[in-house]
């Protein structure tokens, strides 16, 4: 049995804390200790019982930070890009060679907000109590990146049952623009848990495009809570390709708090063996004339489990909201599972909201057609799965990025 009460000593270990920060962290830890790891008793976690998953796969909480001696990272070729290299949550190097460096400010994350907040997710409290690594990225007003920024999130081979708490913040000032590829590279062959909290602020008319991509199959357990605040006419779009880890849960919350702001979430995953992956979104339409679009596609095989929980909330003043949500899944085996929970909560009367969810096995007529052209059943299935998932990258404009993603996506399909 794992002792799930975490000692305050873990906070003491963190050096150079101010009094107020220490108090804040202690409070967060107390709340976490009271709530424990999320379990299926919580509605939001009914498909992903972290308490059970953690107990089954880990022997203890190990919050020790790990410095990796070297980062065995293969940089993306054939794509001109800026980069930040983050190793086990800590920024180790960066290069903004295509940009005006004065317009960009990258520092280690430092929390300055010690106010008490009500969170629905106990892992956030744990993160706030113990996070010691992370970055803060600020982009100045009117600055538009010339090339894409690749954030290499490297998890080193030294990791062994470590529980990492990482906290990042990204702020795009008024009228700025940034395109990011968050590339997750795991070198460790052991289990580890990465608990990330990320806050992204888009000021008026700022544009952020974000691609999240896992590089390889690994024994990592990932949880990421991300909160996005969108001001007037700002635009956020993301493509999430999270195949690879044993466990991966995204808890994503979008506040469309400025008029005419827009967000778009597109996800495509292939899950194999006993992978478990969940994407949970909450899109809050808090101002009029905002748009949101979500399309989540999953292919589950083996004994894997895919989950999508998507909620659209429309506040009474958020008239002329245009919200769309769709999830589609293909089940390749009898023991695979897909759970979907779409939810709409609407308090405005002049809105356009639609949602849909479908799941089923692979289309036999399509298999027949492909086989009648000489492809065997496995090849036909693979081609169909690839086609099903690849549609998600059609909307990406850059040919170089598209090509890179296509190669990665194809290699993820087993």
Partner 1 sequence: MLEIKNLTASINEKQILNGLNIRIKPGELHAIMGPNGSGKSTLANVLSGKNGYKTSGELKYKGKDLNDISIDERAQQGIFLAFQYPTEIPGVKTNNFLRTSLNKIRKARGEKEVDALSFLKIIKEKSNELGMDEKMLSRQLNVGFSGGEKKKNEILQMKILNPNLVILDETDSGLDIDALKIVANGVNTSRDKTNSFLVITHYQRLLNFIRPDFVHVLSKGKIIKSGDMKLAEQLEKTGYTGII
Distance CA 176, CA 139 (A): 7
Provide, rounded to whole angstroms, the least separation between the CB of residue 214 and partner 1: 21
Burial class (CB in 10 A: 0-12, 13-18, 19+), 130: buried
Provide, rounded to whole angstroms, the least separation between the CB of residue 397 and partner 1: 16
* Tokens, residue 65: 């930070």
How many Cβ atoms sit within 10 Å of the Cβ of residue 129? Answer: 24
Nearer CB in complex with partner 1: 348/383: 383
Provide, rounded to whole angstroms, the least separation between the CB of residue 215 and partner 1: 23
User: CA nearest 359: which of 298, 404, 402, 405?
Assistant: 298
Nearer CB in complex with partner 1: 344/375: 375
Tally of helices (H runs) and strands (E runs) in the chain: 7, 19
Task: Please list the residues that pair with 221 across neighbouring strands.
Answer: 193, 247
Nearer CB in complex with partner 1: 80/379: 379
Name 56's Cβ contacts closer than 8 Å, sequence gap at least 6.
none
Provide, rounded to whole angstroms, the least separation between the CB of residue 391 and partner 1: 5
| Pairing assessment for the beta strands 235-241 and 262-271 based on DSSP bridges | parallel
Sign of CA dihedral 152, 184, 173, 227: negative
Task: Please list the residues that pair with 402 across neighbouring strands.
Answer: none
- Site of tokens 């907040």: 117
Are the CB atoms for 124 and 156 separated by under 8 Å?
no
Nearer CB in complex with partner 1: 347/369: 369
Provide, rounded to whole angstroms, the least separation between the CB of residue 254 and partner 1: 27
Provide, rounded to whole angstroms, the least separation between the CB of residue 369 and partner 1: 4
Size of the chain in residues: 414
Provide, rounded to whole angstroms, the least separation between the CB of residue 42 and partner 1: 36
Q: Which residues sit at the interface with partner 1, rule CB under 8 A?
A: 363-366, 368-377, 379-380, 383-384, 386-391
Provide, rounded to whole angstroms, the least separation between the CB of residue 370 and partner 1: 7
Provide, rounded to whole angstroms, the least separation between the CB of residue 409 and partner 1: 11
The secondary structure of 260-319 as a DSSP string is T-EEEEEEEEEE-TT-EEEEEEEEEE-STT-EEEEEEEEEE-TT-EEEEEEEEEE-TT-T
Nearer CB in complex with partner 1: 62/410: 410
Nearer CB in complex with partner 1: 353/383: 383
User: CA nearest 180: which of 138, 222, 145?
Assistant: 145
Nearer CB in complex with partner 1: 138/390: 390
Nearer CB in complex with partner 1: 375/400: 375
* Tokens, residue 157: 């081979």
Nearer CB in complex with partner 1: 95/379: 379
Distance CA 380, CA 372 (A): 10
């Amino acid at each position: 049995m794992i002792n799930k009460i975490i000692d305050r000593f873990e906070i003491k270990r963190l050096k150079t804390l101010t009094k107020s920060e220490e108090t804040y962290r202690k409070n967060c830890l107390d709340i976490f200790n009271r709530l424990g790891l999320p379990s299926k008793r919580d509605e939001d976690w009914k498909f992903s019982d972290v308490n059970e998953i953690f107990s089954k796969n880990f022997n203890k909480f190990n919050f020790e930070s790990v410095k990796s001696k070297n980062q065995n990272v293969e940089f993306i070729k054939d794509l001109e890009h800026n980069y930040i290299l983050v190793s086990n949550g800590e920024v180790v190097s960066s290069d903004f060679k295509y940009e005006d460096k004065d317009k960009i400010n990258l520092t280690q994350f430092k929390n300055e907000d010690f106010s008490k907040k009500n969170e629905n997710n106990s892992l956030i409290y744990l993160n706030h109590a113990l996070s010691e690594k992370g970055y803060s990225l600020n982009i100045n007003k009117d600055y538009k990146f010339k090339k894409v920024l690749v954030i290499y999130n490297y998890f080193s081979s030294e990791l062994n049952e470590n529980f990492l708490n990482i906290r990042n913040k990204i702020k795009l000032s008024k009228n700025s623009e940034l395109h990011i590829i968050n590339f997750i590279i795991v070198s460790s062959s052991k289990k580890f848990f990465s608990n990330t909290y990320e806050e992204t602020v888009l000021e008026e008319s700022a544009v952020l495009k974000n691609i999240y991509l896992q590089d390889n199959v690994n024994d990592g357990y990932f949880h990421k809570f991300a909160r996005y605040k969108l001001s007037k006419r700002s635009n956020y779009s993301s493509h999430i390709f999270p195949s690879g880890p044993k466990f991966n849960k995204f808890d994503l919350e979008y506040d469309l708090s400025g008029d005419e702001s827009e967000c778009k979430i597109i996800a495509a995953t292939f899950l194999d063996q006993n992978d478990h992956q969940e994407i949970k979104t909450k899109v809050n339409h808090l101002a009029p004339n905002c748009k949101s679009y979500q399309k989540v596609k999953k292919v589950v095989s083996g004994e894997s489990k895919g989950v999508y929980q998507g909620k659209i909330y429309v506040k009474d003043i958020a008239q002329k909201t245009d919200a769309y949500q769709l999830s589609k899944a293909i089940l390749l085996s009898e023991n695979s599972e897909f759970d979907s929970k779409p939810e709409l909560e609407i308090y405005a009367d002049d809105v356009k909201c639609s949602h849909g969810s479908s799941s089923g096995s692979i289309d036999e007529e399509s298999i027949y057609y492909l086989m009648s052209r000489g492809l065997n059943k496995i090849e036909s299935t693979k081609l169909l799965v690839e086609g099903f998932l690849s549609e998600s990258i059609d909307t990406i404009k850059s040919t170089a990025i598209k090509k890179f993603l296509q190669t990665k996506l194809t290699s993820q399909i087993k």
